[in-house]
Structure 1
Amino acid sequence: MAIRENKLRLLMIVDDPDIALFASTHGVDRIMVDLETLGKQERQGHLDTVQSALQIEDVTRIRQGAPDAHLLVRINPLHEGSKDEVDAVVARGADAVMLPMFHNRDTLARFFDILADRVEALPLFETIGAVAQLPEMIGDLPLTGLHFGLNDLHLERGDAMMFEPLAQKVLDGPAKALRSADIPFGIGGIARSTEGVIPPEILLGEHVRLGSSGAILSRSFHRRARSLDELKAGMDFVAEIARLRKIYNGFLEMDTTAIAENTSRFRRAVEKVSTIRSVPT
């Protein structure tokens, strides 16, 4: 018996218009332009994570290259220039705006006020405070969807690896509240089938258990391709997308016992990696 009917919605961070057009017409649901720079180097400079070098003009460049794509723009954390930044990305064609690195309800409320329902808001819950306060925000703020970020969340918690918040059930309560309110959400990123520190064959079971319907394609998924030719040469993009959805759909068809068994596998895998990374060198 399926746990729930759902669809895996995939996001992909892009900086090339040709890749944006190709991805948006071959299985990617949201094309993401990442403008976040404030504080990111200080937080994640030691990690192999996306460090954006894009400018506001790149929103126009990607929009013109993929005019029919659903365009999500991640802006900087709330600061004195946030209104101008939001105004600019909306004017340049964003369909949704993602606010990162907020810690409380009041900061997110100010973001909603600035956005003023002009386009979709997709907040990135990636701090201890934001995740803890999420159940209280439901019904109080106009949340229609969100994404959980694991990189900064695990760093703030002092975890050895980014999937520890999932393994330690940090998202269980917030996910339950979101399911009850019928608010869609996604969690973190995902690699290709059979790849990644925790491969999709295990990780996507946790998405299904929690009710997540979204994931960001990691840089390892597309091997950091800088052009469409490089992307096509390095992978069968359509086939790899199909594999992820097949894995996700397979978990949807599992009963609760099978999902629980996968959760045990997931936690053992996370514990193994965390133990290795915690050993002093």
Structure 2
Amino acid sequence: MNLRTLMVVSDPAISAYVAAHGVDRLFVDLEWMGKAERQPGDTWKSRLTPEGVSAIRNAAPEAEMMVRVNPFHEGTHTEVDDAIARGADVLMLPMFRDAETVARFRDMVAGRAGIMPLVETKSALGAMPEIAALAPESLYIGLNDLHLDLGMKFMFQPLADGMLDDPCASLRAAGVPFGIGGIARVGQGAIPAEMVLAEHARLGSEWVILSRGFHDRAASVSDLEMQGFGAAVQALKDYAAALTGADDLDRRHDEFTRTVGDLVARL
């Protein structure tokens, strides 16, 4: 399994550092519309301005940079044009509910950047075959908003319950690279990162977002250095690369399902 990593960044110096230490795609977040209402707890909420996109691009000119815009609305075209002008290589569209919206977004981008639709609603998950047929450069399944939209208690429940198996099969059949959720360091996490990586391997996922816990909400490059950030990213990729064997992955899925079920029972 050739794992590729994303990391949400807002600080230019940190962006340059992580891009040089194993992060494959910088994730610059401009989404704010409806976020606080959907996720009232302690979840990531961007405070970045469009000017921050330029600052990150200037700090890491060679890095691949993805910008998440707001959900599709009357100002989306302006947001798309501005993000591309500031150097975005990929644009992420959140909180859509059908393939038609993805098609409109793709046409709006018009090949000037890649697109990575973010599937985080029940209806979008159900429309995965139609979305895959649009052949986006990549796609992401966001477990945080998705589990809330499904009325579940814990973000890994859709993965444990098998709800992603058929949608991921549609993506594999269409040849669309995709990613799922966030991940902690090897040996860490409410659900151990090793279990989560086995699910990525089983489903054919190629991308994962490094969680805030992965870098302990580092506020500076020195924080990341003290944490051994680069070595931790490499350990994650090394573990993923060693995952082989369909039978073993099925066994690991059963273990993952039991572990998630036990955690949900305690919530």
From 118, 123, 128, give the equivalent of 2:122: 128
Deviation at 1:250, TM superposition (A): 1.9
Amino acid at match of 1:191: A
- Provide the C-alpha distance between the structure 2 equivalents of 1:118 and 1:60, rounded to a whole number of angstroms: 17
Tell me the equivalent position of 1:266. Answer: 256
Gaps of 5+ in 2: none
Are positions 1:238 and 2:238 aligned together?
Answer: no
Picking from 130, 140, 151, the partner of 1:147 is 140
Who is 1:193 aligned against? 186
1:205 is aligned to 198
Instruction: Find the aligned partners of 1:266 and 1:216 in 2 and give their Cα distance.
Output: 19
- 1:36-47 correspondence to structure 2 within 5 Å: 36-46=31-41
Secondary structure in 2 matching 1:138 = helix
Quote the residue 2:27 is aligned against: 32
Query: Which SS does the other structure have where 1:258 is aligned?
Result: helix
Write the deviation string for residues 31-53 of structure 1: whole angstroms up to 9, x where unpaired: 0100010000000122x221100
Following TM superposition, by how much is the alpha carbon of 1:144 offset from its aligned partner in structure 2, in angstroms? 2.2
- Structure 1: state its 5+ residue gaps: 1-5
Cα deviation, residue 87, structure 1: 0.4
Q: What's the TM-score once normalised by structure 2's chain length?
A: 0.98
Measured after TM superposition, the shift of residue 26 of structure 1 is: 1.0
**Aligned pair partner of 1:92 in 57, 78, 86:** 86
Aligned residues with identical type, % of pairs = 46
- Three-state SS of the structure 1 residue aligned to 2:208 is strand
Query: 1:224 and 1:11 mapped to 2: Cα distance?
Result: 15
Tell me which residue corresponds to 1:3.
Answer: none
Cα contact 1:200–1:247 (8 A) shared by 2: no
Checking the alignment, whether the CA contact within 8 Å between 2:135 and 2:174 is kept in structure 1 is no
Q: Map of 1:250-261 to 2, 5 A cutoff?
A: 250-251=242-243, 253=244, 255-261=245-251
When the two structures are superposed, what TM-score results if normalisation uses the length of structure 1?
Answer: 0.93
Contact 2:7–2:26 (Cα < 8 Å) also in 1: yes
Residue 105 (structure 2) aligned to one of 105, 108, 111: 111
Give the corresponding residue for 1:14.
9
Deviation at 1:180, TM superposition (A): 1.4
One-letter amino acid of the structure 2 residue matched with residue 81 of structure 1? G
CA distance in 1, matches of 2:85, 2:130: 32
Secondary structure of 1:11's aligned partner:
strand
Aligned-pair distance for 1:195? 1.1
Structure 1 segments (4+ residues) deviating >2 Å:
136-139
| CA RMSD across the alignment | 1.0
Please say if residues 114 and 136 of structure 2, whose CA atoms lie closer than 8 Å, have aligned partners that are also in contact: no
CA contact (8 A) 2:69 2:93 kept: yes
State yes or no: 1:61 paired with 2:55. Answer: yes
1:121–1:145 CA contact under 8 A, matched in 2 = yes
Quick check: 2:119–2:141 contact (8 Å CA) kept in 1?
Answer: yes
- Secondary structure of 2:5's counterpart equals strand
Per-residue CA shift, 1:141-197, capped at 9, x if unaligned?
232210100000000111110000001111100111111122110001001111111
Compute the displacement of 1:136 (Å): 2.2
- How many residues align? The count is 267
- For 2:92 and 2:132, locate their aligned partners in 1 and report how far apart those are by CA, in whole Å: 17
Q: Distance in 2 between matches of 1:32 and 1:176?
A: 25
Q: Measure the CA separation in 1 of the matches of 2:222 and 2:21.
A: 15
2:60 and 2:35 map into 1 onto residues whose CA distance is 27
Q: CA deviation at 1:225?
A: 0.9
